[in-house]
Structure 1
Amino acid sequence: MSHYTDGLTQLGRPTQQPAHPDEAVLERVANPQTGTAYVVRFTQPEFTSLCPMTGQPDFAHLVIDYVPGDWLVESKSLKLFLQSFRNHGAFHEDCTVSIGKRLADLLAPRWLRIGGYWYPRGGMPIDVFWQTGAAPGDVWIPNQGVPGYRGRG
């Protein structure tokens, strides 16, 4: 392990999946490229949560982009955090925005956005987008690349 991993509690050891997002421990590491503008992208194509009304599973393709400041999210902790929604009942909007806000609070990035591309519920897909503010002009931010839902047509 390096000095970048000092203080991490989950990396390199067995870790239980948190039962609820509030119990999930998100961890961060120092950005070794502080002062350099670049984008970090996490894609979670098999995100799951529960409908808070019916208890039925909901599925989404999440794309999280951020321009780091002093911190990077530790990826194992992010995976466990996202998995903690598996048995959590919340609307699509709440899941998507709360994930974005929790990451923004932890990392204090120069910029962060999340796209929640939800699969249809009741025949209608719901896509949810949130960002911390205007995108910085000094970095290339690619399109999230997730097409709108087209069904079988």
Structure 2
Amino acid sequence: MSDDIYKNLKQLGGATVMPSNPDEAELERVPNPQADVAYNVRFTAPEFTSLCPMTGQPDFAHLVIDYVPGPWLVESKSLKLFLGSFRNHGAFHEDCTVSIARRLADFLDPQWLRIGGYWYPRGGIPIDVFWQTGPMPDGVWIPDQGVPPYRGRG
């Protein structure tokens, strides 16, 4: 495989600065060299953080992102920086979770994408948020996200 598909990446392999908010974060992608095969890609971010927009207190989540690529793959360092950019971003759990999924879906044009946002309790109530682009595709092994209902996540 040729390294030419990686030539336009700006963040991988060099020093980077964490974007201060999601709007400043630059997602990067590369052509999918296996675009003729339907397969699932999973990213797990067990230490995702954002801020409560009302109190400024930190919120913590375990995110699981599954996607069946179309023409593009997300470059993982750019995804890490994008997710990290929420650290100082104030938004409710639902907004953070769905915003992440929609931005990825718009950017990658995947065959299918879903996100599970498993949020740790605030005020005694965990909030779990789920979103997907459509029905799960046939013929692709997509395991359960494996995050149990809240009993002290972990």
- The alpha-carbon deviation at position 4 of structure 1 amounts to 2.2
**Hey, what does 1:49 align to over in structure 2?**
50
Percent identity of the aligned residues? 77
What secondary structure sits across from 2:44 in the alignment? Answer: strand
RMSD of aligned C-alpha atoms?
A: 1.2
What secondary structure sits across from 2:65 in the alignment? Answer: strand
- Alpha-carbon separation, structure 2, partners of 1:133 and 1:101: 12
- The alpha-carbon deviation at position 151 of structure 1 amounts to 3.9
**Hey, what does 1:122 align to over in structure 2?**
123
- The alpha-carbon deviation at position 77 of structure 1 amounts to 0.1
- Alpha-carbon separation, structure 2, partners of 1:92 and 1:107: 23
- The alpha-carbon deviation at position 92 of structure 1 amounts to 0.1
- The alpha-carbon deviation at position 2 of structure 1 amounts to 1.4
- Alpha-carbon separation, structure 2, partners of 1:17 and 1:99: 16
- The code of the aligned residue for 2:83 comes to L
TM-score normalised to structure 1 length: 0.97
TM-score normalised to structure 2 length: 0.96
What secondary structure sits across from 1:45 in the alignment? Answer: strand
Q: Could you tell me which runs of 5 or more consecutive residues in structure 2 were left unpaired when the two chains were aligned.
A: none
**Hey, what does 1:137 align to over in structure 2?**
138
Structural mapping, 1:67-146, within 5 Å: 67-146=68-147
What secondary structure sits across from 1:83 in the alignment? Answer: helix
Q: Could you tell me which runs of 5 or more consecutive residues in structure 1 were left unpaired when the two chains were aligned.
A: none
The aligned length equals: 152
What secondary structure sits across from 2:130 in the alignment? Answer: strand
- The code of the aligned residue for 2:100 comes to I
